[in-house]
Amino acid sequence: MSVSVRSFAKINIGLRIGPVRPDGFHELRTLYQTIGLHDVLRVTIARGSGIEIRSNAPAVPQDESNTCYRVAERVLHATRRRAKVTITIEKKLPVQGGLGGASSNAVATLLALERALRRQLPPEDRMRIAAEVGSDLPLFLLGGLVLGSGRGEEVYPLEDMPGIPCVVATPAIGVSTPQAFARWDRLAETGSGRRGKLTAPAISSTINGFSHSVLAWLSGSSTGVPSRNVGDRAEALLLDLVRAGIENDFERVVFPEYPELRKVKRALERAGARYGSLSGSGSTVYGLFASSAEAKRAAVRLTEGGIRAQVTTTLPRRQYWRRMFV
């Protein structure tokens, strides 16, 4: 029995890093948005036992450290089933790229394995397993536009925006997320930035202000105007997004470390992106565009400049689920 699924990527639209919590994780607020770029996973079950991971990409770990392995183990345990599970990952998304590839692969494994076993776990078991394996997994149990809080694992589905043209630039740099958080901590201890000194009260107030910014964005001038065509709506949404001041804190520590990533963001903006940002801790930098024609032109310009860039669109929740099973 074999089940194949598309394992879609996400981008972060804004990310605020808060204080370190007693468990060592950072409190954060972010918007996750699923996009059309994806890996393809095949989960096969047979008689026997053991979990085997195969991939076309040498960078994908094939042992029990793989997020897919860890999820498969938990699903077998929760369903009290015994089987030999083979997970084949056709990798197209960058590894350590800030697009949530490993997290998405893990959730794809959960959904495909459930189908192969003909058993569906209750939503609370799915969420628990996802959150145990990593902070960025639960968002993929929702898809579309998702508000993330806690350490990123507390997720809330938001009303979707229409599919927005998106250019995803993937420079050949791997950024370690724990190291990026550590650099943020050093900045918070010593540093002052554009937005003033990063004192504990300042950090708490920016993190609390995030939901206000999100509200300001999503209740901005772009909403409630049904007569607008899709292009105008995208344009207004992106203008409101910039106005709401929704930004990614990781840029403050990752850009100084990898100045070429700041250049990629600038190149996207020069090529017409209405909104450009690092995704997660990077190294992916994306741009959102008012039309797919502009996005295509921008991707060509970046590629000509030696930067790997792909055109896609943001993926609303309904499409995310409709396109998941191959």
Question: CB of residue 103 vs ligand C5P: minimum separation in angstroms?
Answer: 7
Closest distance to ligand C5P from the beta carbon of 178 (Å): 4
Q: Catalytic annotation on 265?
A: no
* Helix, strand, or coil (residue 28): strand
Q: Would you list the DSSP string of 228-282?
A: S-HHHHHHHHHHHHHHTT--BTTHHHHHHH-HHHHHHHHHHHHTT-SEEEE-TTS
Of 10, 39, 160, 249, which residue is the catalytic one? 10
Residues 170-189 that bind ligand C5P (CB under 6 A): 177-178, 181
Q: Angle at the Cα of 274 (from 268 to 276), degrees rounded to 5?
A: 50
Number of chain positions touching ligand C5P (CB under 6 A): 11
Residue placing its CB nearer to ligand C5P in the complex, 8 or 184: 184
Token digits of residue 225:
């105007």
Contact 69, 55 (CB under 8 A): no
Rg (CA), the chain: 20
**Cα distance between residue 186 and residue 184, in whole Å:** 5
Q: Which residues does 60 contact at the CB level (< 8 Å), separation at least 6?
A: 53, 66, 89, 91, 95
Does residue 249 touch ligand C5P according to CB under 6 A?
no
CB of 181 to ligand C5P, least distance (A): 4
* Cα dist from 282 to 74, 133, 274, 276, whole Å: 29, 20, 19, 13
* Neighbouring C-alpha atoms within 13 Å toward the C-beta of 244: 26
Nearest to ligand C5P of 29, 91 (CB atom): 29
Interface residue with ligand C5P among 3, 9, 28, 188 (CB under 6 A) is 28
- Does residue 292 bind ligand C5P (CB under 6 A)? no
Please state the closest distance from residue 209 (CB atom) to ligand C5P, in A. 18
Smallest separation, CB 133 to ligand C5P (Å): 8
- CB atoms inside a 10 Å sphere around CB 91: 19
In the complex, minimum distance from the CB of residue 155 to ligand C5P, in angstroms, rounded to a whole number: 13
Q: What are phi and psi of 18, to 5 degrees?
A: -105, -160
Per-residue binding letters, 117-156, with ligand C5P (x by CB under 6 A): -----------------xxx--------------xx----
Residue list 216-245, contact with ligand C5P (CB under 6 A): none
Residue among 247 and 294 whose Cβ is closer to ligand C5P: 247
**Catalytic position from the list 39, 91, 136, 240:** 136
- What is the contact mask toward ligand C5P in residues 6 to 25, using x (rule: CB under 6 A)? -------------------x
Does 248 contact ligand C5P by CB under 6 A? no
Contact present, 83 and 91 (Cβ < 8 Å): no
Cβ closer to ligand C5P: 151 or 252? 151
Pick between residue 97 and residue 152 the one whose CB is nearest to ligand C5P.
152
Q: Which two tokens stand for residue 142?
A: 């929702």
By CB under 6 A, name the binding residues for ligand C5P.
Answer: 25-26, 28, 134-136, 151-152, 177-178, 181
Residues carrying an active site annotation: 10, 136
